[in-house]
Amino acid sequence: MRARDKAAVSALRTTLAALDNAEAVPVDEAGLRGAALEQSPVGAGATEAARRELSERRVVEVVRTEAAERLEAAAQLTAPAHAARAAQLRAEAAVLLQFLDGTGLGA
């Protein structure tokens, strides 16, 4: 990916973060309360939780949602002062939609 393609870099970074969040497992807060410090897990990886494995359908849903959020935000930026930001959001959405269409970044 070229360094000058800021829209693609921004879109892919935030979408990867959204996918990472979607893989996270919910924390059982009831189990966290009332535990004594001596009973807490110790050692490397003791507090790591297995992550969910997303299906291809779920990954597509997350990417589509990210693109839709950008398009919605761009539509709300109607003031001339926000034209550049709206254009950037539309470009980011286009990058994500290209990946869904299978054309990617056109290496």
Residue 106 domain flag? no
**Residue at 24 is within a domain:** yes
- For residue 43, tell me if it sits in a domain: yes
Question: Does any domain span residue 80?
Answer: yes
In a domain, 62, yes or no: yes
Residue 107 inside a domain? The answer is no
Helices 83-101, 6-23: inter-axial angle, 10-degree rounding: 60
Virtual CA dihedral for 79, 63, 94, 84, nearest 10 degrees? 30
pTM of the model: 0.74
pLDDT in tens, 30-88: 455 555 666 666 666 666 677 889 999 999 999 999 999 999 999 999 899 999 999 99
pLDDT for 30 equals 46
What's the pLDDT at 37? Answer: 60
| Domain count for the chain | 1
pLDDT at 26: 78
Range of the domain at 91: 6-101
pLDDT in tens, 9-28: 999 999 999 999 999 887 76
SS3 69: helix
